[in-house]
Amino acid sequence: MCGIVGYIGQRNAFDIIIKGLKRLEYRGYDSAGIALINNEGKLNVYKTKGKVSELENHTIDKDISGNIGIAHTRWATHGEPCTVNAHPHFSFSESLALVHNGIIENYATLKENLQSKGYIFKSSTDTEVLIQFIGHIMESNDIDLLTATQLALQEVVGAYAIAVLEKNNPNTIIAARKSSPLVVGIGENEFFLASDATPIVEYTDKVVYLKDEEIVAINREKDIKIVNLYNVETTPEIKQITLNLGQIEKGGYPHFMLKEIFEQPGCIYDCMRGRINMEADNVVLSAVIDYKERLLNAKRFVIVACGTSWHAGLIGKQLIEMLCRIPVEVEYASEFRYRDPVINSDDVVIAISQSGETADTLAAIELAKSKGAFIYGICNAVGSSIPRATHTGSYIHVGPEIGVASTKAFTGQVTVLTMLALTLGKANNTIKEETYLSIVKELNNIPEKMKKVLELNNQIIELSRMFTYAHNFIYLGRGFSYPVALEGALKLKEISYIHAEGYPAAEMKHGPIALIDAEMPVVVIATKNALYDKVLSNIQEIKARNGRVIAIITEGDKILSNIADFCIELPDTIDCLEPLVATVPLQLLAYHIAVCKGMNVDQPRNLAKSVTVE
């Protein structure tokens, strides 16, 4: 959560930084701020509540000159979203300004200590404590900023990505990270700093991903110097980024979410490229081949993830159990990390994350690693923390996902899980050749089938208009469609703020059916799969209580088109691949309802794209 941007070079820092902050707004958007050192050596700090555009308006008549600066877009943790709590924060003498992403867990102790020495705090943030602490160490020991930052961070418990400006040193930015991402971009006589590569891609493709407990001194006239908290220097590992600008812009769509929904056929194709052969009769996931013995000897798989990625994990469980006959458990990473889970060295833990930065998932990985488990990561953001923390894994290759509501990452995750289950099942001889071939072949057809579903967009817009009034929704599914129901409900609630619950359809009669009345829309995934007849009975039960059924059905299903109030017809596919097709109309339904309600679809209230705090 929170986005950091920095610039040092020959150009005007403000324009580059504001553009960068806008690219990072998906990480948080309740307040924003910037610190710049102008050519006379004055340190100017501007902050506002609200989005980056508010900051831009606020600075129209201010001095925004200077070619060095740092900035922040915030998702509040300590202290309400307001101008005082917005970053940057000053040291006591106001000679240092700092922006921070993460949480300083021992801030209260540090603050008490500083207060006893006479320090006064303006904000309620842990961040102000950190910069006052750095300033205190620097001034009381008469040492440079880099050393003071090292000493301060040795005392800090928690997670941080920070950037610091020093008024008296307009040629250097000091930045550091632990458990929160930070990337340095290397241009011609200029450097960029950001929470991810999206603000940098426009200027350079050379980046250095900082590692945990590394501090970088970025000097305008020299180069970058990376040291750890104990001043041991390391050589920067320069990587080339493959992102392009088109991938991080809206490309004519009104929202990133809609763009990302429509990108899915191409994304699934990219995800399979090089992994499924031309004849569509073989899947090769290189990570599985490299660690075949370790994976096949697993007594059990444990999937850890959060939110939408957890829903993908529920589908992964069914796929792996069905095709590989290895037991799978699916855990919320946030619960797993604080239990005392039974994890053995012959377990394989699969960590799923779009951002690769989710704090709970990272902590679950560390816990499982400490117990000797082998860790397989399924991530989207290349070079993020989770792929670096795992033993091996597969990227989903769906490109940057910017809308806060996850869409293409979900279908990408399910695609990788399908390929994982197929590869393992084949190697394990637990899947019949015929079944294997039919799934691989059909997987290859999924992008075309998704395109057909996207053609239903106008029908779904009409439907959405009818349901904008609703205060509650129920989503039902069984088997592979149950996680799809959960995902449909999550999409709706997070962007439209309509309360929505997902249930396994047969659970209705154990309680939730009491909620059904003529006002209650019930979305049922009722395609012609192995559980079709069972779901049909569940729909009859809802209709008998006057519920309004929106059924997601297989093309040409005359029975359900006569029973349900509204139908969305999908192309037929194999049961285990249905989530890839059936999720798409639910994403569109949530999107259009939210748009009809006038909501900020890409940046819903209280949320952030990357949850780097627990």
Could you tell me the smallest distance in angstroms from the CB atom of residue 368 to ligand M6R?
16
User: What torsion, rounded to 10 degrees, do the Cα atoms 146, 149, 155, 160 define?
Assistant: -120
- Residue 60: phi and psi, rounded to 5, are -50, -45
For 427, the token pair is: 């190697």
How many whole angstroms separate alpha carbon 12 and alpha carbon 67?
Answer: 5
Q: Do β-strands 566-570 and 548-554 pair in parallel, antiparallel, or remain unpaired?
A: parallel
Cβ(101)–Cβ(160) under 8 Å?
yes
The residue at minimum Cβ distance from ligand M6R is 307
CB 88 within 8 A of CB 99: yes
Q: Which is nearer to ligand M6R, 454 or 607 (CB)?
A: 607
Residue 190 CA to residue 10 CA, distance in Å, equals: 7
Q: Of the two residues 410 and 480, which places its CB atom closer to ligand M6R in the complex?
A: 410
In the complex, the smallest distance separating the C-beta of residue 470 from ligand M6R, rounded to whole angstroms, is 20
What is the smallest separation between the CB atom of 591 and ligand M6R, expressed in angstroms? Answer: 12
Nearest approach in angstroms of CB 609 to ligand M6R is 7
Cα separation, 518 vs 539, in Å, equals 14
Q: Distance between CA atoms of 20 and 248, rounded to whole angstroms?
A: 11
Which residues contact ligand M6R by CB under 6 A? 306-309, 353-355, 358, 361, 404-406, 490, 494, 607, 611
- The secondary structure of 504-565 as a DSSP string is EGGGGGGTGGGG-STT-EEEEE--SSTTHHHHHHHHHHHHTTT-EEEEEEETT-HHHHHHSS
- How would you write 564-612 as a 3-class SS string? CCEEEEECCCCHHHHHHHHHHHHHHHHHHHHHHCCCCCCCCCCCCCCCC
The catalytic site residues sit at: 2, 609
The least distance separating ligand M6R from the CB of residue 436, rounded to whole angstroms, comes to 29
Q: How far apart are CA 445 and CA 222, in angstroms?
A: 53
Kindly state the smallest distance separating residue 324's Cβ from ligand M6R, in Å.
23
- Residue nearer to ligand M6R on the CB measure, 310 or 467: 310
Q: How far is the CB of 384 from ligand M6R (least distance, A)?
A: 9
Task: Starting at the earlier edge strand, list the strands of the sheet with 300-305.
Answer: 328-332, 300-305, 347-353, 374-379, 392-395
Helix (H, G, I), strand (E, B) or coil at 237: coil
Rounded Cα distance between 194 and 99, Å, is 11
